[in-house]
Amino acid sequence: MSTPAAVLFDFSGTLFRLEEDESWFTDLRVGDDEKVDGHFQAELMRRMTQPVGSVVTLDDDGHRAWEARDLDPAMHRAAYLAVLEASGVRRKDHAESLYDKVIDPDSWTAYPDTARVVRGLADQNIPIAVVSNIAFDLRPAFDHLGVGHLITYYSLSFEVGAVKPDPAIFRAAVDALGVPAQSCLMVGDSEEADGGARALGMSFGLVDPLPTDQRPSALVDVVTEHGLRID
């Protein structure tokens, strides 16, 4: 196996994770005005970040929005508000408040080794792309971490018009990096979505989307397994 000449990373569950804050749920009620407990908070976050598949049963309009959610910000909003309603969040203002947290880059927590890996690759002049099924601009999350200037290219589904595992979203990244796909490593938390990079001949490394405090070094480990060195 040759050493990758460039590395592509997924965003959610790979470099960053959306982790609930108790303050988001202080006034939130579900069903018959019930407060949201910790278990249900975690379940709502899972439904809001699951990379593939359906998370609840939706009506026709909700289903159409769900299918198009990562290509259009308006569809993204409609889809996730429908998911929250179907999950029992009846009040529109409560659902909108929670949704606004989801699309706020400041709400996302970086994994402990994200900055280390990005800096380690950049120090070796290895180009880096972020490839994400997403309908909002995640660049500020990297800027706030102090590594935004080290990302060579962002291939975001709502900007490039393709959703993983469609090879087009990976192709947009490798074309921008100027590196043959066969010389790239894709790292992500979804075999189905991120593993689509294999269709272009890329290597693929899978990480587990665990809570950030339970996954201290998975990014370092996976790039090291593929022959790269991170100091």
Domain housing 172: 6-17+108-225
**Domain C-terminal end among 81, 106, 131:** 106
Is residue 231 one of the residues assigned to a domain?
Answer: no
Bond preceding residue 165 cis, omega within 30 of 0: yes
Q: Which two tokens stand for residue 177?
A: 């990096």
Which residues 6+ apart lie within 8 Å of 174 measured at CB? 6, 8, 129, 180, 181, 184, 200, 202
**pLDDT tens per residue across all 231 residues of the chain:** 589 999 999 999 999 998 877 767 666 666 555 566 656 677 777 777 776 666 777 888 888 998 999 999 999 999 988 888 887 787 788 889 888 988 999 999 999 999 999 999 999 999 999 999 999 999 999 999 999 999 999 999 999 999 999 999 999 999 999 999 999 999 999 999 999 999 999 999 999 999 999 999 999 999 999 999 999
Q: Distance between CA 149 and CA 163 in Å, rounded?
A: 25
Model's pTM, two decimal places?
0.89
Same domain, 28 and 128: no
Same domain, 84 and 134: no
Same domain, 137 and 65: no
Domain containing 167 — which CATH number? 3.40.50.1000
Q: Which two tokens stand for residue 100?
A: 């606004």
DSSP, res 221:
H
- In the chain, how many domains are there? 2
Same domain, 220 and 209: yes
